[in-house]
Amino acid sequence: MKALVCGAGIAGLTMAWHLERAGWEVEMVERAAAFRDGGYMIDFYGPGFQVAERMGLRQRLMEARYPVNELSYVDRTGRQTSHLTLTSGMEQVVSLLRGDLARAIADDVQAPIVYGASVESVEQGADGVSLRLTDGTSRDVDLLVGADGAHSRVRGLVFGDVAPRYLGHQVAAYMVNDEALNRRIGTRYQMLTEPGLMAGAYALRDDRLALLFLRREPDPALPADPAAALGRHFGHLGWILPEVLSRCPDPPELYYDQVTQVEMAHWHRGRVVLVGDACQAVSLFAGHGASMAMAGAWVLADELAAGRGDVPAAAARYQARMAPAIGEVQRFGRRFVKWMAPSNRWRIGVRDLLFRLAALPGGDRLFVNSLSPGGHHLITSRSG
């Protein structure tokens, strides 16, 4: 059986990893010109972590993880306004770069990856899928997996127009190299919030600094010059921002996108199946997207193994297993929107107060328990 996986991100690589171990002949196509390293910091926990453990990745993730000892909010002068020291309970949460997670999975994937390419057209017959790729070549496969993220091309080709739900924010992330700033930030995740704006910084190894920007914006249209837009909206806020924004790169080094969730009635059509953000994006507000992407790929692989070649039936069972947990995480994410980049000073004050309360003994465990809901039950094998 042959499979083509479109998108070599977290979901696509996990899918390829499991399919090839189940005896599928797998090939991947990836739009980026080369492997996507770096990216942004993610907190990785929950069902995806269970999948990673089953894949034997625990040790590698522990080596790639960054210690986050404290979450702290600062004002325009860099003075701390509230903080939470993380001492206990955080062992279940691994903070690492999205690219390091992808790399850990990719290192154990044999499937060839065609970079700089995508799926151009898809035609489904009774027994298979005929594809044309953007490099002019074609393939006949038994399964096409669309793992090409929230703006999925496979979704557009096979399922028509599915408008992601815009959560009223735009997000940006990039890295700078700066030894002095790296030391200044240390092992704290530092954030500055002003009404409708949030900027965060975290120090990485090799003197790098990972930066995250979140901005409330009712208009989903992305700016023509994202680096200039960031400078306009955040450059006057003080702290380290003028310095790091003066070194803001252009895409693709600068990640800039709308914050969206993807909700679909059907995640599969015939032998074409979507995984990860392509069908179930939960958004950074839910803080669980990479984890759920890995869980989704694992569940689909499990159902394919249990279904002995009946792709449509396995795909239907995969969606039935995943969708309730995804709905729960998406609802959690929508509730969290107002706290990550609060829209007014009153809400920022309440957030700071909650942080101060959480700083009382045992508060960090409360914080960990308040991370988005589970889905742990998903990772129970049906295929044996």
Ligand X SMILES: Cc1cc2nc3c(=O)[nH]c(=O)nc-3n(C[C@H](O)[C@H](O)[C@H](O)COP(=O)(O)OP(=O)(O)OC[C@H]3O[C@@H](n4cnc5c(N)ncnc54)[C@H](O)[C@@H]3O)c2cc1C
From 4, 9, 188, 201, residue interacting with ligand X (rule: CB under 6 A): 9
Q: Is 342 in the site for ligand X (CB under 6 A)?
A: no
Residue with tokens 């993610």: 42
For the chain, give the number of residues: 384
Q: Is 290 in the site for ligand X (CB under 6 A)?
A: yes
276 vs 363 by CB, closer to ligand X: 276
Q: Which stretch binds ligand X (CB under 6 A): 81-89, 106-114, 232-240, 288-296?
A: 288-296
Q: Is 260 in the site for ligand X (CB under 6 A)?
A: no
The sign of the CA dihedral 85, 91, 93, 97 is positive
The sign of the CA dihedral 312, 297, 34, 261 is positive
From 291, 301, 303, 318, residue interacting with ligand X (rule: CB under 6 A): 291
Q: Is 8 in the site for ligand X (CB under 6 A)?
A: yes
From 148, 217, 302, 364, residue interacting with ligand X (rule: CB under 6 A): 148
Q: Which stretch binds ligand X (CB under 6 A): 54-62, 202-210, 232-240, 277-285?
A: 277-285
Q: Is 57 in the site for ligand X (CB under 6 A)?
A: no
From 84, 129, 273, 284, residue interacting with ligand X (rule: CB under 6 A): 284
Give exposure, 339-359, as e/b (b: 16+ Cβ within 10 Å): ebbbeeeeebeebbebbeebb
Q: Is 31 in the site for ligand X (CB under 6 A)?
A: yes
159-25-291-38 Cα dihedral, nearest 10 degrees? -100
Q: Is the Cβ–Cβ distance between 189 and 204 less than 8 Å? A: no
168 vs 276 by CB, closer to ligand X: 276
| 343 three-state secondary structure | coil
CA dist 110 and 24 (Å) reads 11
Q: Is the Cβ–Cβ distance between 154 and 6 less than 8 Å? A: yes
Q: Which stretch binds ligand X (CB under 6 A): 185-193, 240-248, 284-292, 355-363?
A: 284-292
Size of the site for ligand X (CB under 6 A): 35
Return the number of other C-beta atoms located less than 10 Å from residue 266's C-beta.
Answer: 12
Q: Is 100 in the site for ligand X (CB under 6 A)?
A: no
213 vs 344 by CB, closer to ligand X: 213
Q: Is the Cβ–Cβ distance between 189 and 90 less than 8 Å? A: no
CA dist 198 and 220 (Å) reads 18
Residue with tokens 């960090």: 364
Q: Which stretch binds ligand X (CB under 6 A): 24-32, 231-239, 313-321, 376-384?
A: 24-32
Q: Is 40 in the site for ligand X (CB under 6 A)?
A: yes
Q: Is the Cβ–Cβ distance between 318 and 150 less than 8 Å? A: no
Question: Under the rule (CB under 6 A), what is the footprint of ligand X?
Answer: 6-12, 29-32, 36, 40, 42-44, 98, 118, 147-149, 153, 171, 173, 212, 276-278, 284, 287-291, 293
